[in-house]
Structure 1
Amino acid sequence: MDVTVQDNPERRRFELLVDGEVAGFADYRVRDGILVIVHSEVDPARRGQGLGNVLAEQTLDTLRERGEKIVPACPFFAHYVSEHHEYDAMLVD
C-alpha cells in the first residue's frame, strides 16, 4: 500500500492518497497569515488502519517545513497536536 499526503491548494486541503486514490483529507483556511485546519476525515472503508495519524503527521510536517503557524480547529488535529509536542512551536492561541 502506497500512502502519501499532498497539499491541494486549489481545494484548500491536504489529501491523503492511498495507491493514488483520495482516501482522506484535511481542509484548511488561511486567515491573517495563519493556517486554520478546520476539518479532517478518512474514508470510512479505510478507518482503523492508522491513516488519520498519517494524514495529521505528514500535513503537520509539511506545514512545519514551510514555517507556517497553525490553529488546529479540527478536533482530530487538536487531539493529535496535544499528544505530539514537537508541533507546539507552530501553534497560535
Structure 2
Amino acid sequence: MNKTELIAFVAKKAGLTNASASSAVEAFLTGVTSTLKTGGKVAIIGWGSFEVTKTKARNGRNPKTGAPLKIPARNNPRFRPGKELKEAVN
C-alpha cells in the first residue's frame, strides 16, 4: 500500500473526503517526523512505536576500490511493532 492508497483507505473507512483523509495522514506523518527529529518517541499502545536509534561512527571500506573510509555516526528511525500488531499478522 502506498500513500495514495492509504489516503483512499482512510477516507473510505472514516467516511471522509479524500482531501480530509489526506490532511489527516499528512498531520500524522508530520507529527511523527517532528517528534523523532527532536529525539522523542511516538508510541501507539498495542500497535507499535517509532523512535530514533543512534549508530556509532565506524570504519568501512569502499567496495569498488577497497580503500578504507570513515562512516560517520547517524540517527536512524526505527519502528517496533506492538503485541496486537504482531498477533494480527501471524
TM-score by length of 1: 0.30
Q: Whose strand proportion is higher, 1 or 2?
A: 1
Flag the structure with larger Rg: 2
